[in-house]
């Protein structure tokens, strides 16, 4: 078995080596870079999709937040309005109630007053009648004769009137 | 699920065997055909047999065989690494292979630019083939990279690529490039053009070969020194070259591992720089635009 010289150039060997390198290039391209890059691209695509969906979700959340904030602010205003109208209503109704009560109280007082007056009048009338009767009886006794009450009614009345006026 | 992915399948095992088998075969082949040792000798690759070919006979040498064995091993490694790739990376294997691919692409992008992104597998091929060829010496194989023919083949391929990309600026522009800066420089320029692949081939080949030569010389010297210093030891003890223990291993770290990887990196680097450096980008763009204009004019004429 012989060996080559330490430097021996051989055209075919060079060609074979060249082809070998080309072959390895193709092998690496097809069996190493292609599958790995495919996976990397897929991962990138997935990542992009996830980012996009996250962005979308964020946008949606933002939208919702805005919506809710708007709703909240309008709700606040609404609540304020409702409260105001309620207080106004209550005030109005309270005023009305008070006024009614006042009216009614006034009415009651007035009625009571009139009743009292009526009562007094009745009482005075009663007293007058009593006095008339008493005075009638007294005069009858004094005069020993019957006085026709009917006839002297006017006289007696004026007399009592005078007494009543004096009493009052 | 997890234990399943962690355990190696039969195909994985087969691929691992396929990865290692070429080297084992190379070693077996070497041991079987090794001539009886006759002291130290520095020769080229051993010739297994010769195929008659036109122009020049083709001797099938150790370097050639080992080169193909390395190729097969890398192929198996590729298949092994890219098995079971998932979008959601789970295995360390996938992380490793992704790291390699991204590193190589980053290197190519950095040194050559976006336009040459397709060069990544080629650069990876150069680095892998060169480094593994040089490292095969660790297993006692004849490193293919210390054969000038192997490296010359790569360098010529690189030269073809350089010229191809230079010609993209137009043949006239390419030829004009030789006469610059002055016409007198033309022979020197042509020489320089040819010197690129030659220097690349010789640099790589010389570095690896010199490592082997120095290793052989030092081993022989240590053997001599050992028999000189320790020859008085009784019997077989005196014949054991004790001094050969240690130092050659340390030197091997530099000459075989460091130098081998370094030369692979340098070869890849020079390929990238020469191909992208020789590419006339401005001229190429100009030509592209001219062609586009012509096309548009033609379209207008047709209309």
Q: What is the 3-state composition of chain B as percent helix, strand, coil, each rounded to the nearest 5?
A: 80, 5, 15
| % of chain B exceeding 70 in pLDDT | 93
C-alpha distance from residue A128 to each of A22, A116, A139, A162, B65 (Å): 151, 17, 15, 11, 161
B38 vs B245 pLDDT, higher one: B245
**Residue B5: pLDDT over 60:** no
Q: In this predicted complex, what is the ipTM?
A: 0.85
A163 vs B15 pLDDT, higher one: B15
Please report the pLDDT score of residue A130 as a whole number: 83
- Domain of residue B79: give its range: 2-302
Please report the pLDDT score of residue B157 as a whole number: 94
Please report the pLDDT score of residue B267 as a whole number: 94
Which residues face B50 on adjacent strands?
B59
Please report the pLDDT score of residue A165 as a whole number: 63
> If we measure between CA atoms, which residue out of B47, B80, B81 comes closest to residue B63?
B47
* Chain A residue closest in CA terms to B79: A31
Q: Does B116 touch chain A (CB under 8 A)?
A: no
Q: What residues in chain A have their Cβ under 8 A from chain B's Cβ atoms?
A: 1-25, 27-29, 31-33, 35-40, 42-43, 46
- Interface A-B: count of C-beta contacts within 8 A: 146
Average pLDDT of span A32-47: 91
**Residue B192: pLDDT over 70:** yes
Please report the pLDDT score of residue B271 as a whole number: 93
Please report the pLDDT score of residue A146 as a whole number: 61
B51 φ, ψ to 5°? -105, 125
B42 vs B170 pLDDT, higher one: B170
**Residue A10: pLDDT over 50:** yes
What's the mean pLDDT when you consider all of chain A?
A: 85
Q: Does B126 touch chain A (CB under 8 A)?
A: yes
Written as six digits, the tokens of A25 are 């290039």
Among positive and negative, which fits the CA dihedral B248, B250, B255, B256? positive
Q: Select the residue of B47, B67, B97 nearest A20 (Cβ to Cβ).
A: B67
Spell out which residues of chain A touch residue B56, defining contact as CB-CB under 8 Å.
10-12
pLDDT in tens, A97-134: 999 999 999 999 989 888 888 888 888 888 888 887 88
CB within 8 Å: A36 and B153: no
DSSP class of residue B50 equals: E
Please report the pLDDT score of residue A54 as a whole number: 95
pLDDT band (50, 70, 90) for residue B3: very low
Chain A: give the shortest CA distance to residue B63, in Å: 10
**Residue B232: pLDDT over 80:** no
CB within 8 Å: B101 and A13: no
**Residue B2: pLDDT over 70:** no
3-state secondary structure of A3: strand
Chain A: give the shortest CA distance to residue B119, in Å: 9
A66 vs A161 pLDDT, higher one: A66
Average pLDDT of span B234-250: 74
As to burial, measured by CB atoms within 10 angstroms (0-12 exposed, 13-18 middle, 19+ buried), residue A118 is exposed
Strands (DSSP E) contained in chain B are 47-51, 58-61
Please report the pLDDT score of residue B1 as a whole number: 39
pLDDT in tens, B66-93: 999 999 999 999 999 888 888 887 788 8
pLDDT in tens, A134-150: 877 777 777 766 666 66
Please report the pLDDT score of residue A166 as a whole number: 53
> On the CB side of B172, how many CA atoms lie within 13 Å of its CA?
2
Written as six digits, the tokens of B256 are 């075989």
**Residue B276: pLDDT over 70:** yes
CB within 8 Å: B154 and A21: yes
> If we measure between CA atoms, which residue out of B122, B120, B151, B152 comes closest to residue B134?
B151
pLDDT in tens, A72-87: 999 989 999 999 999 9
* Chain A residue closest in CA terms to B74: A24
Chain B: give the shortest CA distance to residue A34, in Å: 9
Count of domains for chain B: 1
What's the mean pLDDT when you consider all of chain B?
A: 85
Q: Cβ(B158)–Cβ(B200) under 8 Å?
A: yes
Q: Does B132 touch chain A (CB under 8 A)?
A: no
**Residue B219: pLDDT over 60:** yes
Q: Which of A14-18, B183-187, B210-214 has the highest mean pLDDT?
A: A14-18
């Amino acid at each position: 078995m012989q060996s080559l010289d330490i430097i021996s150039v051989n055209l075919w060997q060079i060609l074979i080596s060249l082809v070998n390198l080309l072959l390895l290039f193709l092998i690496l391209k097809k069996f190493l870079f292609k599958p790995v890059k495919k996976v990397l691209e897929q991962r990138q695509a997935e990542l992009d999709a996830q980012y996009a969906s996250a962005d979308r979700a964020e946008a949606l959340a933002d939208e919702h937040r805005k919506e809710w904030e708007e709703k909240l602010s309008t709700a606040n205003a609404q609540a304020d309005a409702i409260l105001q109208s309620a207080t106004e209503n209550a005030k109005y109704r309270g005023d009305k109630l008070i006024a009614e009560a006042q009216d009614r109280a006034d009415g009651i007082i007035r009625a009571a007053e009139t009743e009292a007056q009526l009562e007094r009048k009745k009482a005075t009338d009663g007293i007058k009648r009593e006095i008339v009767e008493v005075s009638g009886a007294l005069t009858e006794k004094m005069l020993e004769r019957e006085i026709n009450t009917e006839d002297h009614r006017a006289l007696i009345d004026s007399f009592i009137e005078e007494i009543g006026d004096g009493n009052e | 699920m997890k234990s399943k992915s962690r355990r190696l399948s039969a195909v994985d095992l087969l691929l691992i065997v396929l990865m290692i088998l070429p080297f084992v075969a190379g070693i077996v082949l070497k041991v079987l055909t090794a001539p009886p040792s006759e002291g130290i000798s520095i020769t080229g690759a051993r010739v297994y047999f010769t195929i008659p070919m036109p122009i020049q006979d083709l001797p099938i040498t150790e370097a050639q065989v080992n080169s193909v064995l390395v190729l097969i091993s890398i192929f198996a490694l590729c298949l092994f690494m890219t098995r079971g790739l998932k979008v959601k990376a789970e295995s360390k294997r996938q992380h490793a292979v992704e790291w390699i691919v991204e590193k190589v692409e980053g290197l190519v992008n950095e040194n050559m630019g976006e336009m040459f992104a397709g060069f990544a597998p080629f650069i990876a091929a150069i680095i892998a083939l060169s480094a593994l060829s040089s490292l095969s010496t660790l297993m006692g194989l004849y490193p293919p990279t210390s054969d000038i023919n192997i490296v010359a083949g790569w360098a010529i391929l690189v030269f073809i690529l350089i010229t191809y990309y230079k010609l993209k600026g137009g043949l006239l522009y390419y030829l004009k490039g030789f006469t610059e800066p002055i016409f007198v420089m033309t022979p020197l320029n042509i020489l320089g053009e040819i010197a690129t692949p030659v220097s690349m081939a010789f640099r790589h080949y010389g570095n690896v070969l010199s490592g082997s030569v120095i290793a052989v010389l030092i081993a022989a010297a240590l053997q001599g020194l050992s028999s000189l210093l320790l020859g008085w030891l009784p019997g077989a003890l005196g014949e054991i070259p004790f001094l050969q223990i240690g130092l050659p291993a340390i030197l091997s770290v530099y000459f075989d591992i460091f130098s081998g990887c370094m030369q692979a990196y340098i070869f890849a680097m020079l390929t990238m720089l020469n191909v992208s450096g020789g590419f006339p980008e401005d001229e190429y763009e100009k030509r592209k635009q001219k062609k586009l204009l012509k096309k548009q004019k033609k379209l207008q004429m047709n209309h």
